[in-house]
Every structure is written in C-alpha cells, then in structure tokens.
Amino acid sequence: MRRLRARLGLGLLVAAFTASVYWVFTRSEPVIRHREVTIYFAHWQIERGPPDGINAAIKRYEELNPRVHVVQLQIPGATIYPQWMRSNLAGDTGPDLMEWGAWLPGEKDIPARYFAPLTAELAKPNPYNRGTSQEKIPWQDTFHDKLLAPKRDSPDPGQIYAVNITEVTLRLFCNVELMKEVLGRVVVPRNFDDLRKILAAVKEFSRKTGRPISGLAGSRDTTRAVAEAVFVAPLIGVAQRLDDAGMLYLYNRQMLAAYLAGRWRYREPAVLAGLQLVREATNAMKPGFIQLRRDDAMIEFLRGQALFFFYGTWDATSLRRLAPFKIQPMKLMQAMPDDPEVGRFVVGQGGEGIGETSLSMYLNKASRHPAEALDFLKFLTSVPGNQLFTDASLWLPAVNGVVVPEEIRNFRDYQEGLSVGQAPYDALGTEVSTGWDRNFYHLTGDQGSAEQFAAAMDAAMPAAMRMDLNAEMRATLVLVKPQDPVIAGWAGLAGEKAKTRREEAEASQTMSEGLALQMQLQLAKTKPAP
Amino acid sequence: MPALIPKLPRWGAAWLGFALPLLAGAGPPADADIAAAWQLMAGSLARDAYTRLDRIPGAPTREQALAQAVVVIDYQPVTPDRLQEAEAVFAELARGQDEIADAAAYLQARLYQVHYQQPDPVRAAALYRALAERHPDSHWAQLGLVKLGLLLLYALPEPAAPAERIAAATALLPRIKETKLQRDLHLQIAHAGTFYEQPLDTVLPHLIEVDRIGGLVGQAPEDLAIELGELSLRAGHYAQARAYFEAYLRDFTPNIRSVTVRRRLEDLAALEAKAQEARR
C-alpha cells in the first residue's frame, strides 16, 4: 500500500513537471527575451484594416531592427479608450506611442501633460525615406497635408506633437442595387437639394411597398457625422462675422468666447437654418435612432434596410468585406446659395477638408524607449512603411509618394470649399457636445423643431460654453507652466542646437501664455452676476 | 591552490581597501550630473532630473542649487510649500552677480506670474523690472521684458485702457536687443491689438515685423500669413494684402483655408477695381 502511494506521488510529480515544462515552452513568456527593447503602440482603430496595416509595418520594422519588438495594443474606442489612456498615463504605465484626438471628451489636457513635442524631429528628413521620392525632404513636409490637424489641434501654437498615419473623410456609402430599385438608376447627389429629393423618394418607395427602408441608416454616432456635415453651410457667414483676428477660420476658444459675449446664438436665423438641415437629414432615419450606435446603423445598411450609410472612410474596408451588394461611395453635398430652403443664409460652398491626414500618434513623455518609439513612428510614416500600412489596411496613406490602391483612389476626390473653424459647432468642447446630445430630441421627430432645439440650447449653453472655455484656458496653462524648466534646461546646455530649441520653447510659451490671458479676461468680462 | 593573481604588497592592498569604496561611491563628476539634469529638464523629464541631482554628494554649487529649485516647479505634485522653498533658493541665488543670479531672479518672477495658485502680477512685474534695471543685457532680463509685456497687455491693473496697455508694452520694445524676443513681443502686441479691437494700422506694423524676423514654428507661421493678408485687406492696403495672400497660397498648400484665401483674392480684385474707378 505504502509502495503504491509512493509510486502514485512520484507519478503525479512527473506529470506536474511535464505539464510545467510544456507550459513554459509553449504558452508563457520566454525566460530570456530575444529582443532588448519592447515598445507599445496603442490605438482605437479596431475596424477591419488598420490592425492588419500596422502589423504589416511592424513585421518589416522588426526585420530591419532585430533588437526592437513592437506590440500593437488595440483598445476599443468609444467608451474604453479615453479612461484607459487617462489611467495609464496617470499611473506612469502608458504605452510608448498613443493615439489621441482633439475631439475626445474631457481629454483636452492630455498632450500638454503627457506627450513630447516632435517639432525638432519633424524639421529633419526621415531616414527611412532614403532612396524614395521623399528623401532629403523634412519629415513634416512628407505628409500629404504637412500635418494640418496636429498643428491646428496642438495645445501650443509653436509646437507639433503628433504625426499622422492615414487620411480619412466622410462619405455617403450607397447601396447601388437598392438605389436602382427605388429610383430606376444611380443618381449621384450634386447638392443638398438633390439628396433631399432622393430621401423623399425613398420614403415614398417604403410607403408604397410597405418595406421598412430608410434613406439614411440611423444611430447616435452617425447622426453626429451627418449633422456636422450639413449644419455647417449656413454657418460660414456667421464664422466670417465673428473673425476679429482675421484668421479666416475660428478656433474653438474664439467661438466659445463669442457666444459668451452674446455675439451669436442658436436662435439666430442662419443657425436655425443649419438646424433645419440637420432635422431634414435625421428625419430620413428610422424612429428611435438616437438610442442606437454606429454598429447598429451599419447592420441596418448591410441588411438592405437603408439606402445610405454616412460615416468615415475608415469603415469602407469593413463595408466592402461584409456587404452582399455593390457599394458606391458618394459625397454628402452641403446646401448651396441656390438651395430653395436655406440658400439665402449660405455664402458659398463649404469645404470638407482638403485631404486632411489623421490617426494621430503621440510619443509618451514618460516612454522608457523614446528613441526606439520615435524611430518606429518614422518607419510607419515613411514611404515604404506607409505603403505596407496602406496595402494591408486599404486605408489612405498620409505620406506623399505612397501608391494609392485602385479600390480607394476616389476617397481623395475632396470637395473644396470655404473654411469655417477648428471643430463643428456641435463639438466646440465637452460640455457643448454633451448639451447637443442631451437636447437633440427637441430637434427630431413629429414633436421636434429647429426652434425648440435652439431655445433649449440657448438656455443650456451659457454655462456649458463657460465651462468649455475654462477648460481650454486651463489646458493652455497646463502647458505654460512646465515650459519654464524646459527653457531653463535648454539654457543650461551649450551649443547652437540648444539655443535654437530654447528660443522655440520661449516663443511657444509666450504665445500660449498670451492666449491663456485672453481667455482669462474673456471669462472675467462675461462672468454672470451672482 | 595556486594564487590566480600575484600577492599585492601590504601597503598597496591597504591603499586599495581605502580608495575603492570611495571610488565606487563617487560616480561621475558633479558637472556631468548637472549637465545631464539640464538635458533631462529640456526633455520635460523633471522627475528624472531630480533623481540625478539628488545623488550628487556634498554641498551643492550655485548651478546645482538653481537646477534643484527649477526642478521643483514641475515636480508633481506641485505644492505651495515646495514653490515657496524654491522661491527662497531663487531669491538667495539672485543676490549674486552672475548669469545664475539673473536666471534665478527671472524664475522668481515666473513663480508670481504663473506658478503660485494665486498669481501676483504686480509682484512679478516689479521683479522683472528690477532684473532689467540691474542687468539689462542679460538674456533672462530680456525674456523678462517679454513677460512683463504680457502682464502690461492683460494682467496689471494699470494702465487699464487698452490703447494705454498696448502703448506701455510697445515702450518695452527698444529695450529688447535679442531679435527673437523682439519678435515674440511684437506678436503679442499685435494679438492684443485685434483682441481689444484697436485700429488695424496700429496692429499691422507689429505683424509685419514678426514676419520680417521669422523663425516661428508649428501653426504660428501659417496663421501669421493669413492675418497679414486679411488685416491688410480690411485696412485697405490692397497691394500688401495681395502679396501676403499669394505668399500664403505658395507656402502653405494644401490647406483648408486655401479656397477662402482664393475667394479673398477675388474680393480684393473687385475692391481694387472699385478704387481705381473712384480715382478716375
């Protein structure tokens, strides 16, 4: 009996040891790392396409750099990414490279607090462009748009904090077969009035056939995109009226301050006209759309229950791979001065962004391997690196010299037009954006109207705009203060490079400080009486 | 067992026994550590700079004391007590006659301008003025004059009228010898001019001077080119407006404002034709 127990124990020991050996060599982390440096690259582009594109670039980069391992972290965007980013950055566990966007609610201060400026690096050629058309060209100038968004959305007018990987725009994705069924042929809308007529025809077709078909696939997320596209046309004139600084363009801080000073209101005729357009577009969505998310709208479209799905070209790869019908991307044209409903408020054709690049990647100031992280960014945004990304993702490249695959070539057919501002009027800041969503039901459906929505917004916005301007001001100050040690640091170092960097830091700090002081004064002047 | 190394003479072993622990603890010279700390600060790594400075043995030199106080400004969490301790160091160092004294005096003023929870623009302005009186050609005094300009434009209670604020800031310009700093104050004066809705002919010369000096990076040069074109047009300087708009289209393309600029060039042509008509 005793011998049997001993054999059983020994057998168990051998089995446990064998299982452990198997686990160690097949499942767990290697005992000795083969690559000295691991860098983490985090983003929220988990649609079909970008992860494949980034993996393709990583694979080649690791072949070229045997000591570096790049890990792609795909974090779901809408609700998780902002909290995940904030908590990791605060806890000093943030990845080396991170995606960030100026529109993320409540995240305005992130670049100033946690990211390192790339301005000096961007002035030098990208070494991975050697032997390409972009050789010897400063890195910044190799981007298709010379980094418009990272410059515009920089918390500091004198610094650039990000580089972009791709280029996106918004498109009306049309179910070609359904359009032929409804209209007898494919009709490409040339202006908003054409779209208005198509949407009316869909409604009539649905009524006659009894089939539940909507003009536009509906959801809360896609509604914001539709609203931002159509709302803008009558507002160009409003923006021009408020442009005291002569920038031909308004920054969010200027729009917010102008509202606080009583210089524009939602109830004024031009803004009401814009809201009327939003109401017309959203009335083509199925009832209850405001409770739904982007994926619901996509499913509605893929099931053939909506003629159009309006969203970014970032969804094009998913749509193409999943749709059982032919899809044609079209532009959502804005109202023009000859529009029968709102034309008198429209001063000209609005622009839809002239090839603005996006998917902005930032370098974490606390990165343990900043040189390697920066080097990977350079590869990903070089001609060969961006080509790998583009071919595997079917997303547009951000870099000049990359060959655009045939399937996505027409995404670059942009509508040129007049400039308006840094952000759409519904997204001037976190509080304004929340107020827009909270009151949106006043605008839609049988019970809603542009006037009701405008009244609700004008009641809620003075407080919301104040909070958003205050947030802008605080985010600017967050940037100003840490610049003093940076300036002292450069001053403590010898050499021409240190002098140049010190001068740049001094200039950008003074510019930011001037803006913060202006915002402080605007807040003080418009402070409501207690 | 045979010895692997020859036996050291007794005195040699004793010397090494004394010297080695000292050498092991000494590390690189203090100057190298301070230079490394400045480099870390320049890279926004104040925490790492603090660690580097903290390991330097012995009484701190003036440069080390300055560096340690500078680090405190951005060492999270920043507390009023720490800032006050830093100010005491700055004030002490500012009594000297070297560049470190000027840097310390400047940074003491910065504490009152932006770092203390309750800024004191009057005190900051007094410190900048005192520094500029004491060592007018020091870089820190020159930079202090730019910051004094900001206080005059927006923060100091007197002068209160916008035109007087701008005049007071403009009066600082001849005292600033460094061209890049002149440029920075010119830009602030111009922006204050549009902010306070001053006549455009008082704003434009400052913007033109900023453009002449050049060297801005980021979004600023693009905004500057647009401002110069648009404000020149509004002020009726059509030829000047055309030159800046055309330069904008040449230097900053593609751009979201290109179509608007082209539209403004069309407006400009119409205005020029009208002006020509009026002259006939």
Residues of chain A with pLDDT under 70: 1, 24-34, 78, 353-355
Domain boundaries, chain A: 37-166+355-407, 170-352+429-461, 481-525
Burial A317-356 (b: 16+ CB within 10 A, else e): bebbeebeeebebbbbbbbbeebeebbebbbbbbbbbbbb
Per-residue H/E/C for A193-207: HHHHHHHHHHHHHHH
Asked if A37-166+355-407 and A170-352+429-461 have one fold, the answer is yes
**Can you give the pLDDT at residue A28?**
53
d(CA B270, CA A314): 42
Contact map slice: A 59-98 vs B, CB within 8 A: none
- Answer whether A506 sits within 8 Å of B184, measured CB to CB: yes
Residue A389 C-alpha, separation from nearest chain B C-alpha, in angstroms: 23
**Can you give the pLDDT at residue B22?**
44
Residue A323 C-alpha, separation from nearest chain B C-alpha, in angstroms: 33
Give the contacts of A381 (CB within 8 A, at least 6 positions apart). A126, A139, A142, A143, A163, A164, A165, A398, A399
Q: Which residues of A touch B46 (CB under 8 A)?
A: 482, 485
Percent of chain A with pLDDT strictly greater than 70: 96
Residue A474 C-alpha, separation from nearest chain B C-alpha, in angstroms: 12
Q: Which residues of B touch A480 (CB under 8 A)?
A: 114
**Can you give the pLDDT at residue B278?**
87
**Can you give the pLDDT at residue A479?**
82
Residue A178 C-alpha, separation from nearest chain B C-alpha, in angstroms: 35
Cα A329 off chain centre by:
20
Look up the ipTM and state it. Answer: 0.89
Contact map slice: A 217-246 vs B, CB within 8 A: 243-246
Contact call for residues A249 and A243 (beta carbons, < 8 A): yes
Q: Is A170-352+429-461 in CATH node 3.40.190.10? A: yes
Residues of chain B with pLDDT under 50: 1-9, 13-14, 16-27
- Helix A430-439 crosses helix A450-480 at what angle (to 10 degrees)? 160
Q: Which candidate in A160, A240, A247, A334 is best for mutational testing of the B interface (most B CBs within 10 A)?
A: A247
Nearest residue in chain A measured CA to CA from B261 = A248
**Can you give the pLDDT at residue A354?**
61
Give the contacts of B35 (CB within 8 A, at least 6 positions apart). A492, A493
**Can you give the pLDDT at residue A338?**
92
Q: Is A37-166+355-407 in CATH node 3.40.50.300? A: no
**Can you give the pLDDT at residue A386?**
97
**Can you give the pLDDT at residue B29?**
61
**Can you give the pLDDT at residue A1?**
63
Give A167: exposed, middle or buried? Use CB within 10 Å, 0-12, 13-18, 19+.
buried
Q: Backbone phi, then psi, for A68, in 5-degree steps?
A: -115, 135
Instruction: Say whether residue B264 is in contact with chain A using an 8 A CB cutoff.
Output: yes
- Cα–Cα–Cα angle for B47, B53, B58, rounded to 5 degrees: 155
